[in-house]
Amino acid sequence: MIFSIIIISLIGTFSHFLYDLTNHNKVIGLFTAVNESIWEHIKIALTPTFIWGLYDGFLYGSSGNYFLAKLLSLLVLIIVIPFIFYTYKFFLKRSILVIDIALFYVSIILSQMTFYYIIDMEFLGFMISYLSCIGLFILFGFYMVLTLLPMKSFLFKDPISNKYGFSGHTEIFSKKEGNNK
């Protein structure tokens, strides 16, 4: 479990900067943060967890609970990151970078703990496994769609540019604003 947490954390941390490092490559942007919205920070935790699924699928794929464990570990990320972020922001009235960074790593730890807890459980049945597999495909589909077509919601809004998705990237937004002046 510790190894998975380290690898997912490293890939996620790197993917926060990869869009800029690749000169705003849209294909890379599908899987990495393209702005500072909460969704993009969820994405940089989801992407390496999906990638890690290629590895842990070889190790645990024969476990009857594998698909459920993977699905719930991904849902933990989707729920924990915004829940803790908006809860602490409500009380402190602002976001704090150190807390945001810690939140990212805590969510990965909780996600992986969930995965390994469910993998170790007694087999919950074929139907749960089947529905979990379908749930993974649906989740991945939403991941792609919401990256390309972000909803006009607070989760997807870049707090710096007040825009969504690719157009919310702060550097791109700044260049467009500079050209309009």
**Up-side HSE of residue 9: CA atoms within 13 Å toward CB?**
18
| Residue 158 confidence (pLDDT) | 85
| Residue 181 confidence (pLDDT) | 40
At 96, is the pLDDT very low, low, confident or very high (cuts 50, 70, 90)?
Answer: confident
| Residue 175 confidence (pLDDT) | 52
CA distance 130 to 168: 37
At 171, is the pLDDT very low, low, confident or very high (cuts 50, 70, 90)?
Answer: low
Q: Which of 86, 112, 114, 113 is nearest to 99 (CA)?
A: 86
Number of domains forming the structure of the chain: 1
Instruction: Return phi, psi of residue 79, to 5°.
Output: -90, -45
Q: Which of 81, 92, 2, 16 is nearest to 48 (CA)?
A: 16
The rounded percent of the chain whose pLDDT value lies above 90 is: 40
Instruction: Please check the confidence at residue 14 and state whether its pLDDT lies above 60.
Output: yes
CA distance 180 to 120: 58
Q: Which of 7, 140, 144, 123 is nearest to 68 (CA)?
A: 123
Average pLDDT of span 144-160: 87
* Domain span at 106: 2-180
| Residue 170 confidence (pLDDT) | 61
User: pTM of the full predicted structure?
Assistant: 0.83
Average pLDDT of span 32-61: 88
Integer Rg of the chain from CA: 17
The rounded percent of the chain whose pLDDT value lies above 70 is: 93
Of 55-64, 150-159, 172-181, which range is least confident? 172-181
